Chains A and B, each alone.
Chain A
Amino acid sequence: MVKFKNSLAVLVTGLLLLAIFCPAVRAEETSKIEVVIIYEEPYHESNPDFNLIAAFYENLGHFSVEISTLASRAWEKGKLQGYNVVIYIGNRPRELSGEMLEEISSAPYVLWLEDNIEDLARVKGWQDFKFYGKCDYFVRLYAGGMSTLLDPYVPLYLAQPGAEAEILATVSNMKDTLPVMWQRDNIFYLGKLDFSFPFDLLLGDVLHQILPCHEKPGYKVLLRIEDVSPFTNPENLQKLIDVALYHDIPYAIAVTPFARNKGQEASLSQARELVKVLRKAQETSGFIIMHGCYHSNEYSPETGEGFEFWNPKDEKPMEEEPEFTRQRIEKGLKELAKAGIYPAAFEAPHYAMSSKSYAELARYFSTYVGQIQLSDETYKASLELPYKVTSYRLPGMKVWPETLGYVDPGDVMAVAKIREKARFHKILPHVETCVFYHGFLSPEGLEEVIDSIEKEGYVFASLGEERFWVKSKDIKIWGENGLLNWESDIAPIDPEARDPLYKGPGFITKGVIGLAFLVPGLVIFFGLIVWNLRRRRNRLYEEG
């Protein structure tokens, strides 16, 4: 079955085909770019949970590159030859040998991060270069004509790169403004390696200056209506969808097909009204994301709040994975298909999943939405990315990242924060990001979010723009350019038909409704009796 989706998205995509590619194609484009990452050991000492190399792999998944890694101690003469790009992570101070530095600097492009840059400057013969080392108390970051606030306690490696350098970004405090990202000759330097806002954007920016990228320039955001489950109020969800329709923007809905809460359990196919709303969305400009199966597990039992593919109590993966993961994915897919809902992508509850589960997931889904968990030791090592990547950790999966965050109803600054982030993202030549909005929140808040992001020049993207597929034994889903196709062995329910199991309002409800009519009637009747008795009191009672 094929359904035509979102004509606007198709039109926009078509027009953009005519536009020019990313201008920052610096490295060789003819053959696959060879990148080597050199690091100091141990490379994850400062944050043992956060694997810098793994994070780099994910970031580079945006580009068409071959990646190798090398600990600087293991360097031998000639080992760096043939690489188009050398990335050096100065994650700890070390005196580097002149020969190695010579070999690094002879690469066409070098990206140097943080420490030990003075050694390279010496080899390069930069007389006017001055390295300040680790500095802090810088409060503002300037890049691409924009600025954002910095955490003053975050240390940065700063240098005065000399007159010939091109300054790409600076930081300032009350007194000084110093370069934090710059280019001199074939050397690109970034004084802070941090994969979270705003330094993830500087890294993305510098990578785009070095590596070829075929993405079209422009700022895209995916709107995700989050945590829709059988307990979601279908009327509120419809109101949120109406806001998106009013703005004529595509959107995605993250749906959890089963829900558990305080001993209650419900499945999507039972929530007939919700199914109707979701099907309507799916037939127009909405795409569905499968957001786990229960959004809960035995260690965190409440749907919407709980983890599913992670044990938060003991901070470890679920026992019996990947079997557990496989069962949940298949069960969820079946329930969605039973409801006539066909997802285009997957999102793990709280983005928490181990590498084993990711590998299992990659057999079923081509596309993932959200942050990437980099560790099998903690779910807190979660990676934000400012653009789409082909993931290493989720073997071969396309990942729609999530960096703009969400509306916390308790935070009055929530929308302003989203807008601030969206604005600074524009230092990149192109952005693909995501913002999410919970399905139980008011439509007014969503209106604000859409307005503020649109004012920053963003275009809302469709999850179905690019090719995607979902495969299980009984269900095949695929599509691109806004089209959704599926083949399913599971007959979907008819939400309009009466559920064979549904016997009208439950007998409890009927009983309560009956009582609700009966008791006030009795109250009035008894009230009249009392009134009558009081009125006739003197006649009724014997004098005595």
Chain B
Amino acid sequence: MQELTRLDMLFILSLTAIWILLLYHVFLTYGGYRYFLKSMEADEKIHKISDENLPGVSILVPAHNEEMVIARTVDAICRSDYPKDKLEVIVINDSSTDKTGEILTGKQKEYPFLKVVTLKPPIGAKGKSNALNNGLKEATGDYIIVYDADNTPERRAIRYLASTIISDKRLGAVVGKFRTRNRDVNLLTRFINLETISFQWLVQAGRFYWFKLTTITGTNFIIRRDIVEKIGGWRLDALTEDTELTIRVYNEGYYIKWIPEAVTWEQEPEKLKVWLKQRTRWARGNMWVISYYIRRVFTLNRRISWDVIYFFFTYIIFFTSVIVSDVIFILGLTGIARLSITGPFFIIWIMSYILFILETFISLSLERGEGNFKNFLLTALMYFTYCQLWFYLVLRAVWMSLKDKITGKGFYWYKTERSAR
């Protein structure tokens, strides 16, 4: 057998890494499907709970210049199917300079149980974690629910979250599903819709089915107040406070459940620039969390340590591998360096493409009205467009993180710009 060159080895390693992740996602897809079938039968029991047995919950809504969306969010939450005596709604008006404060004052007349916590600099404007920690101080409920300011939860969402978390003492948090309210606005929002559905059914449901692992997604989740207090609230230095919180909840010995029946509708970016900024924050945040915990992986609870490794694999190894194989492909095309191995690499690529489409389409089929032909075609297109943008995005995030590391600059919380829909 001929000697493999270093380039060959690199190529094989990257291809192997890509396929390990692809096949893992196949496994998760099947888990998501199984979880879908299972949740149809079991959840009725949990949710058939009388009002008197429901716990008192405090809903935290951090809001920073949310005049376009806050009224609708407050309406949706306050009109929810939950006994009002057990519902405390706290909107944290975090140094808003627009009409958010005025709108909230108006809403307080409408809903007496609505509390508004107003933060002003130097206390406010320090990001979502800070707002949530301040909201927590005012909260009286044993359970904390968080909604982003652009969310409109369905009427029964809060009830489902609450009834699920009291069903098992080992449950530290319960995460609901979020859907894209403005999915039909343009191609970007359509792609985001596909992405969020497939992420939730594949990564959230699939991981929960197989390993009882779910990530808190920052909105539409309930968490035990005592856990939050025990772990010292939300971390101020984490850009993705939700992922970070997830790790700590698991590390305390609890688990988190994802339930598809608790639905909130949120507004996604409609402009590429906005999307890019928001997702770069996520990517940077997740990389921060990964780099922070991968070094402590052996001190973590075993279940979550695997998840940290999985995220490490996705963000670092997978992206590096794809970029490496792309670079080798370009080097080969330009004749600068060639692989000495030959193989049906084109077929391998086609197979990975087919798998991608199928995985995504199965996730879509689990969502009513989404498993249609149009979305099938969109998925096929998404691979070459939206997915490729992620590579740019991750590179951008890496570059920005490195730059900040070198210049010693701290992070800046970019708040997603809203549009009125």
- Judge whether B358 and A523 touch: CB under 8 Å: yes
Closest 7 CB pairs of A and B: A263-B338, A526-B358, A519-B351, A541-B368, A533-B365, A264-B340, A263-B340
For the A-B complex with A499-B1, A529-B33 known, give 8 more contacts whose Cβ atoms are closer than 8 Å.
A263-B5, A508-B12, A516-B347, A518-B23, A527-B358, A529-B365, A530-B371, A534-B371
Q: By the criterion CB–CB under 8 Å, are A523 and B354 in contact?
A: yes
Are A501 and B1 closer than 8 Å at their CB atoms?
Answer: yes
Whether the pair A262, B338 counts as a contact (CB closer than 8 A) is: yes
Q: Give Cα A473–Cα B149 distance, bound, in whole angstroms.
A: 87
Please judge, given known A-B contacts A508-B341, A522-B355, A522-B358, whether A515 and B2 are in contact too, CB under 8 Å: no
Determine whether B324 belongs to the interface, using a CB cutoff of 8 Å to chain A: no
| A498-535 interface (Cβ within 8 A of B) | 499, 501-503, 506, 508-509, 511-512, 515-516, 518-519, 522-523, 526-527, 529-530, 533-534
Complex: A508 Cα to B4 Cα, angstroms = 11
Closest to A505 in B: B1
Instruction: Give A121-165 as 1s and 0s: 1 = Cβ < 8 Å from B's Cβ atoms.
Output: 000000000000000000000000000000000000000000000
Q: Using Cβ atoms and an 8 Å threshold, which residues of chain A touch B371?
A: 530, 533-534
Q: How far is the CA of A518 from the CA of B20 in the complex (A)?
A: 13
> Which one of A503, A529, A541 has the highest number of Cβ atoms from chain B below 10 Å of its Cβ?
A529
**B344 adjacent to chain A (CB < 8 Å):** yes
A526 to B26, CA, bound (A): 9
Q: Are A266 and B338 in contact (CB under 8 A)?
A: no
Question: How distant is the Cα of A262 from the Cα of B337 in the complex, in angstroms?
Answer: 9
Partner of A503, one of B1, B343, B344: B1
How far in angstroms is the closest Cβ of chain B from A258? 11
Contact partners of B12 in chain A: CB under 8 A: 508
Contact indicator B348/A512 (Cβ below 8 Å): yes
- Residues 338-375 of B at the A interface (beta carbon under 8 Å): 338-344, 347-348, 351, 354-355, 358-359, 361-362, 365-366, 368, 371
Q: Is the interface of B mostly helix, strand, loop or mixed?
A: helix
Q: Does A270 contact B (CB under 8 A)?
A: yes
11 contacts between A and B (CB under 8 A): A264-B342, A499-B1, A503-B1, A512-B348, A522-B358, A529-B33, A529-B365, A530-B361, A530-B365, A533-B365, A540-B36
Interface size on B, residues (CB 8 A): 35
Nearest B-chain residue to A526, judged by Cβ: B358
Chain B contacts of A540 at CB under 8 A?
36-37, 40
A216-273 residues at the B interface, CB under 8 angstroms: 262-266, 270
Interface residue tally for chain A (C-beta within 8 Å): 30
Tell yes or no: B29 within 8 A of A by CB.
yes
Tell me if B167 counts as interface (CB < 8 A to partner A): no
Residues of B within 8 A of A515 (CB): 19, 348, 351
- B residues adjacent to A (C-beta < 8 A): 1-2, 5, 12, 16, 19, 23, 26, 29-30, 33, 36-37, 40, 337-344, 347-348, 351, 354-355, 358-359, 361-362, 365-366, 368, 371
Contact B351 A266 (CB under 8 A): no
In the bound complex, what is the Cα–Cα distance between A503 and B5 (angstroms)?
Answer: 18
Which residues does chain A contribute within 8 Å of B337, judged by CB atoms? 263
Asked whether B26 lies within 8 Å of A263 as measured between CB atoms, the reply is no
Q: B202: shortest Cβ distance to chain A, in Å?
A: 12
Expressed in whole angstroms, the minimum distance between the Cβ of B1 and any Cβ of chain A is 6
Within the complex, the shortest CB–CB distance from B259 to chain A, in Å, comes to: 14
- Measured CA separation A301–B33 after assembly (Å): 54
- Looking at the complex, which one of A506, A518, A522, A533 makes contact with B1 (CB distance below 8 Å)? A506
B-side contacts of A262, CB under 8 Å: 338
- Of B30, B40, B341, B358, most A-chain CB atoms within 10 Å: B358
CA distance A529 to B33 in the complex (A): 8
Identity of the chain B residue whose Cβ is nearest the Cβ of A518 in the assembled complex: B23
Chain B residue contacts of A519, Cβ below 8 A: 351, 354-355
Bound-state CA distance A263–B339 (Å) is: 6
Find out whether the CB atom of B343 lies under 8 angstroms from the CB atom of A526: no
Q: Which residue of A lies closest to B369 (CB)?
A: A541
Report how far A270 CA is from B1 CA in the complex, Å: 7
Shortest Cβ distance from residue A157 to the other chain B in the assembled complex, whole angstroms:
52
